A and B are shown apart, each in its own frame.
Chain A
Amino acid sequence: MNDIYNIIDAYTTGALSPEEEQYLFATLANDAEARRYFKERQVLSLALKAAEVPFPAELDEAVLSRVQGKRTATIFNGLLQPVYVTAISAAAVLLVMFLFFFNRVESYRSEVDHAMIEISNQKQTIDLLLNGLPTIQVTSQNNNRIHIANN
């Protein structure tokens, strides 16, 4: 295959250096066969370009939504990695322990409150009993004997 075809092909893709372009146009000026092929290449490229079908909007939507779905799935799968699973499990255990001990503390607090009320009640009862006893007078006598008498 003639080298000029490769040069023409490279020209249509913009891959020629200025020197090569100069050589190409000099050849085209003198070579009818090269001119014919050059025209063919130009027409073909334009026709194929013009024959491009626009990318369908519904396909655009479908691809992007599937990629978004894939991204969500990737995030979810990432959470299923061992390190995350361990962390989430540990957090769950700590939460359960917290709830358990919180409950216990609340229960103790309630018992202490109840005991305080009981103590308070008993103190009042003792005070009442003490107040209900008859008063007495204690006096000392000369013979070193203590005399206790009701008032």
Chain B
Amino acid sequence: MNLQNQQNEFLNYYHRYKQVVYNYALKMSSNKMVTDDIVQTVFLKLFEHLPGIRSKESISYWLFKSTRNEIYAFFRKKRVDAGSSSLEDAEHVAAGSSANVELQYELNNLREIVRAELETLPLEQKDALLLREYGGFSYREIGEMLQIDEELVKSRLFKARTRLAKKLIPVID
């Protein structure tokens, strides 16, 4: 693969997955600066390793797996609890631009509520839920990524969803 082709292919995957990878990393780390670093690192690695990735169908899996590894490496290095978050980050995340201020306000409100509720989930449940919702992975793929049994994935997802739904439905209704 020549460099021009490699770059074109990279850009294709980058634009397709940047949003979901970013949201996964942000909701896992709860830290915007760390998320920015992780996303940059992961996509740079993708650019470097793209010629060596044989199955292009597994790019999404590769991206989420790498992002997850970076997040856990960050947790290990900094010895931070994944449940901790900073108000500054939340405010930064909430800042957006929209002509419709009211809608933006409600959206920011909802984001903040979801973020806060996600923080209350145990890390392993949150991880499985985000991989399912943002990555769109099957139970089997999540099981492989987390190195757990498929039934355990289902159980974690069920618990996470029930718990979140209990908090979110009254708010949204």
Chain A residues close to B by CB (< 8 Å): 1, 5-6, 9, 13, 39-41, 43-48, 50-56, 59-60, 62-63, 66-67, 70-71, 74-75
Query: Chain A residues near B96 (CB, 8 Å)?
Result: 53-54
The reply to whether B133 and A45 form a contact with Cβ atoms under 8 Å apart is yes
The reply to whether A63 and B165 form a contact with Cβ atoms under 8 Å apart is no
The reply to whether B44 and A47 form a contact with Cβ atoms under 8 Å apart is no
Residue B161 interfacial (CB < 8 Å): yes
The reply to whether A43 and B172 form a contact with Cβ atoms under 8 Å apart is yes
Chain B binding surface SS class: helix
Chain A residue with Cβ nearest B137: A13
By Cβ-Cβ distance, the 5 closest A-B pairs, closest first, are A51-B114, A40-B165, A51-B111, A48-B133, A52-B23
Chain A binding surface SS class: helix
The reply to whether A48 and B114 form a contact with Cβ atoms under 8 Å apart is yes
The reply to whether B44 and A40 form a contact with Cβ atoms under 8 Å apart is no
Contact code string B121-140 (vs A, CB < 8 Å = 1, else 0): 00000000000011010000
The number of chain B residues touching the other chain, given as a range, is 35 or more
How many contacts A-B (CB < 8 Å)? 87
Residue B87 interfacial (CB < 8 Å): no
The reply to whether B164 and A44 form a contact with Cβ atoms under 8 Å apart is yes
The reply to whether B18 and A55 form a contact with Cβ atoms under 8 Å apart is yes
**What are 8 A-B contacts with C-beta separation under 8 Å?**
A6-B154, A51-B111, A56-B22, A62-B40, A63-B40, A63-B43, A67-B14, A75-B3
Q: How far is the CA of A40 from the CA of B129 in the complex (A)?
A: 14
Q: A53 and B26 in contact (CB under 8 A), knowing A48-B114, A59-B39?
A: yes
